[in-house]
Amino acid sequence: MTAAEPRVLKHQVVRAQIEKLLLGLDIGDPVPAERDLAERFDVARETVRQSLRELLVAGRIERRGRTTVVGRPKVVQPLMIGSYTEDALAQGRTAGRIPVGWTDLKADEELAAELQIPVGAPVLEIERVLTTDDTRVGLETTRLPAYRYPGLITDFDHRSSLYAAIRARGIEFARTTEVIETTLPDAREAALLTVDARTPMFLLNRVSYDQNDIPIEKRRSLYRGDRMTFTATLTG
């Protein structure tokens, strides 16, 4: 090996061996326990643990309670103006929403500036868990200026697309600003998504605007990094 060649770490070798093992299993099949893998490959359990962490982030395996199983392919989500539900259905997947709750808020200075409403103005907040193929993949919190959506709490079916309900009111999405970061879930978020608190997450913060450049919503979306990947199309 020359100085220019990268060093292959032991856990990377073990990861490659585990990936070969996964090829012989079906989606949902249990993965051998850490102890069994350590004995099979004659390495320390911490080496196996590091390999499994990388495979978890890559979406090759999933945690189901205390069991590790072969994972489904990641959900590919385009970064675009649109509905998560509508896009998942277009990919031939099942998509659902589990309601967490509605909350009536008063806009603080930051939220008032983002939604272009007076400080103290009423805001509707809806929080829902996003599911794909019956797996919890995200947690979505949307804040809406209440004056634009009278009757929404009673009329809206929480299992359906919020974007479709907004468009039905004659409001068109024209543009968004979005900030994407990586993070870890807090204890509440991990519980809602049924994941370990060490699971890496994508955090998307979005403000959407209508055809008159008036804010429609502020949305915070937390997605599991082991189950989701994002794509973007850029043109020059």
pLDDT at 50: 86
Q: Give the span between the Cα atoms of 116 and 110, in whole angstroms.
A: 10
1 has pLDDT over 50: no
Q: How many CB atoms lie within 10 A of CB 190?
A: 17
Overall pTM surpassing 0.85 (yes/no): no
The full length of the chain comes to 236
Band the pLDDT of 14: cuts 50, 70, 90.
confident
Mean pLDDT in residue range 34-48 = 89
Q: Strand 228-231 relative to strand 75-78: parallel, antiparallel, unpaired?
A: parallel
Residue with tokens 């502020």: 218
Token representation of residue 130: 């996003």
* Inter-residue contact 143 to 111 (CB < 8 Å): yes
Would you say residue 177 has pLDDT above 70? Answer: yes
Q: How far apart are CA 124 and CA 118, in angstroms?
A: 14
Instruction: Assign 3-class secondary structure to the chain.
Output: CCCCCCCCCHHHHHHHHHHHHHHCCCCCCECCCHHHHHHHHCCCHHHHHHHHHHHHHCCCEEEECCEEEECCCCEEEECCCCCHHHHHHHCCCCEEEEEEEEEEEECCHHHHHHHCCCCCCEEEEEEEEEEECCEEEEEEEEEEEHHHCCCHHHHCCCCCCHHHHHHCCCCCEEEEEEEEEEECCCHHHHHHHCCCCCCCEEEEEEEEEECCCCEEEEEEEEEECCCEEEECCCCC
91 versus 38: the higher-pLDDT residue is 38
Mean pLDDT check: name the lowest of 8-22, 104-118, 176-190, 203-217. 8-22
Cβ-based neighbour number of residue 113 at 10 Å: 12
List the chain domain ranges. Answer: 10-70, 75-231
The architecture CATH gives domain 10-70: Orthogonal Bundle (1.10)
What tens digit of pLDDT does each residue of 78-87 get?
777 766 666 6
Class at the top of the CATH hierarchy for domain 75-231:
alpha beta
- Give the largest CA-CA distance in the chain: 69
pLDDT of residue 8: 57
Mean of pLDDT over the chain? 87
Per-residue confidence band for 113, with pLDDT thresholds at 50, 70 and 90: very high
Looking at this protein, which amino acid is placed at residue 72?
R
Mean pLDDT of the 75-104 span: 77
75 contacts 93 by C-beta, under 8 angstroms: yes
**Residues near 82 by Cβ (< 8 Å), separated by ≥ 6?**
163, 173
Distance between CA atoms of residues 113 and 127, nearest Å: 21
